[in-house]
Amino acid sequence: MDSALQDFRYAIRMLIRDRGFFMTAVIALALGIGSVTAIFSVIDNVLLDPFPYKGGTRLTGVEIHDSTRAQDGGRQGYSQAEFVQLRQQNHVFEDSIGLIQDRVLMTDPSGRLESFLRAKLTGNAFEFCGMQPLTGRYFTQEDAKSGAPPVFVLSYKLWQSRFAGDRNIIGKNYILNGIPTTLIGIMPKRFTLWGADLWMPFTPNPAEADANSEFVFLMGHLKPGLTPKSAAPDLNIIAHRLAKQYHLFYPKQFDVRVPLLIDNVVGKFRQTLYILLGAVGLLLLIACANVANLLLARATAREKEFAIRSSLGAGRWRVMRQLLIESSLLAWCGAVLGCGLAAAGLKALTVALPKFTFPDEADIRLNLPVLGATVLVAVLTPLIFGLIPSLGAFARNLAEPLKAGGRGNSGFRRGKMRNALVVFEVALSLFLLSGAGLLMRSFLVQRGADLGFRADKLLVAQVQLGKQYPTAESQYRFARDLTDKLRAAPGVTSASTALEFPPFGGIPTTFDVAGIAHTEKWKGQAGLVDPRYFETVGTHILSGRSITEADLFGKHMIAVVNQTFVTKLMHGANPVGKQVRIDVFEQAPVPIKNPWFEIVGVTSDLRNSGLVDPTAPEAYTPMTLSGYGGFGVFVKTVGSPAAMSKTLESSILSIDKNVVPQQSGTMTQLLDQFLFSPTRFGVQLFAVFASIGFVLVCVGVYSVISYTVSQQQKEIGIRMALGASTGNVRGLVIRAGMRFVILGIVIGALLSFLLLRVMQNQIAGIKTYDPVTLISVTAILLLAGYGASYVPSRRATLVDPLISLRYE
């Protein structure tokens, strides 16, 4: 025990004496450990334990998935009649709740009118979630009963932003959609169920006249021992029984899936986080290799010291233990500094994380599991980088340096372990830089994708109409009055309405064309648009005609199809005059029993399936065909569309003060928020980690060459004394460094070809093996390797050979 304590004290003195080495090693380890800690914090708080609710990891929904579609996703909202039966008849949930999301207009005591996001919950919702209110109380089953006084509960976010944290508002009445409603409680900060601003109680009642006008989302706690996969068959039986009763709501072929709540929120962003975790893992390996190389070079310089200790009776294990203690001290110092870097980095990450890709409830911070993982990393990393020099000392004849009578003499052609570590670092760095380059090119391809319309001149908003607009005709009259007002506003060149928001897609459907036989299902999309839609978004009628005002309320049902419909389904034949069946309208809010339409025109394509998948066949029909209760507004402007936001809002309120636009913004903002932000976040963070790895590689190559040069002063002096020119000596040093850089590049390129398949789902629009990226990254590493080798080579030639030989 005394000898171990002695070695510990000695290790501290040696590290303090060699401050340059100590700081370089600790910073390298801190960058690696800090990066791992930061990303693991995000994964732990976003993927593993994001919800503060009771049984948060067992929260699931129920999804009706069309079996004929290859894509994931499906219907998770149900009529009240379906919801009641699913809730009562299942055997897989311990308990379940229902949620209806909409917007509500609030009038405060001062008369100010505002629109907020509301979630109506079944009365057991707060007991189901297991969270207590911050102040006041939450509603219960009694509050949800018919005839009970109307009450609501406020979110912490709205309480702070709208009411400045005033606790005295509890018990006050606010007018919600024209009804005096009492505020009874405020929930804690992390209770953000369904992202709502406020919550109100409701009791499902299938007998109500409008019971099917709103979709109820079901959320349940899986019983212990059940998984989403094992729970699906029970719900599948119930759903197929319901499909016989409510056949219009179900595809002809479907299966039931039970998605976890976290999967509903995170989606494909989970894969981005795991790729980033792999990137920081590689970064930590580069840092460990870097420190191992520094330790090897340092151990070479200390060979005489080890020899003297050996001659005084210290065994190999004692020397090995000394090196492991020094390595552990470096790792723990790196872990402490790394936690500080991670804490600072998490603040930036929390701001940079794109919305709608992680739960609002997630509290991203350094918690006990994360700190435990950091401790584990700090314990394991010395075994990675500390064992290499320790084993080297164990295998070497410790007395040999005393016989040599000088410095450790490893030579430019020796030190195979150090050289191997340099190769290893360069290979990993090339892999990281290649991944960052591919993600960047993928992002640029997405940003540069041809949408089929100009997003920079479009202002968009979603409008949801209430029960006062029960029919398609009344909804369209509101839309027509709105677009008339907008077109009359200065700076507006066109305005229109539609049910779809490109490139996010229309209504999935299947098609048939009269007179054309086909064996496979023709899948595509349906869009409901007004007569000015094509003019506003900027598509062109290629043949036939567009939708006109006469088509809106006429008995003759018509459709305009896109170019992809013609080329993919009709093989280029002229579709004008043909009859197309659009199956989805059999399941519309106002069903069409025989949904055959005459094709009257063909329009140019616009993207309707995101930025990655190819454009799908689409058929556009008049807005008045079937009442979906809401629509999108498109405003084409001369100048900045953002400047017209107030005009849009005031135009809506001038028609009906109880209607407020939702998701209002420019099309560019909408694309950035829902499509580009997650990809950009992954690209930026991956690039940061790759850059850190690149810097560590440069430091590693420089350090190894510098140590080697310092150990070979005698050899350099002899060469220069015998007539070697400055250029020859520099060339010797540079070739020694570049040889390993080139070998690392070759191995890294081979690794990239094998391992970049993991990232293939993140690469869109380019080949996985992109020669431009690989050549660019190779050139960067070659230049960096040359620079890292040149500086020590120049310093080596500045020493007078006679002084060098005299020193030796």
Give the number of residues written for the chain: 808
Closest of 670, 536, 540 to residue 605, by C-alpha: 540
Phi–psi pair at 74, nearest 5 degrees: 175, -170
Asked if residue 799 has pLDDT above 80, the reply is: no
How many angstroms from the chain centroid is the CA of residue 319?
48
Total Cβ atoms within 10 A of residue 376: 11
Q: How far apart are CA 520 and CA 181, in angstroms?
A: 54
Q: What is the pTM of this model?
A: 0.83
Question: Dihedral, CA atoms, 241, 245, 250, 254, nearest 10 degrees?
Answer: 20
List the structure tokens of 47.
Answer: 């993927």
In the predicted model, is pLDDT for residue 529 greater than 90?
yes
pLDDT for 381: 85
Q: What is the DSSP string of 464-508?
A: E--TT--SHHHHHHHHHHHHHHHHTSTTEEEEEEES--TTS--EE
Higher-confidence residue: 255 or 795? 255
Q: What is the pLDDT of residue 472?
A: 82
Confidence (pLDDT) at 353: 82
pLDDT at 302 over 60: yes
Under the banding of pLDDT at 50, 70 and 90, the label for residue 585 is confident
Strand partners, 578: none
In the chain, where the domains are located: 1-58+267-409, 59-266, 417-449+673-808, 466-658
CA angle 504, 462, 207 (to 5 degrees): 100
Per the CB < 8 A criterion, the answer to whether 96 and 55 are in contact is no
Q: Kindly tell me if the per-residue pLDDT of 307 is higher than 50.
A: yes
- In sequence order, what are the residues at sequence separation of 6 or more whose Cβ sits closer than 8 angstroms to the Cβ of residue 10? 322
Give the least confident one: 99-113, 282-296, 697-711.
Answer: 697-711
Average pLDDT, the chain: 86
Q: 266 by DSSP, 3-state: which?
A: helix
**What's the confidence (pLDDT) of residue 692?**
93
On the question of pLDDT at 412 being above 50, the answer is: no
56 pLDDT exceeds 80?
Answer: yes
Measured distance CA(570)–CA(522) in Å, rounded: 11
**Residue 162 reports pLDDT greater than 60:** yes
In which band, very low, low, confident or very high, does the pLDDT at 602 lie, cut at 50, 70 and 90? very high
pLDDT at 758 over 70: no
Taking a C-beta distance cutoff of 8 angstroms, is the pair 120, 102 a contact? yes
**CA geometry: angle 685, 691, 692, nearest 5 deg:** 95
For residue 253, the SS3 value is coil
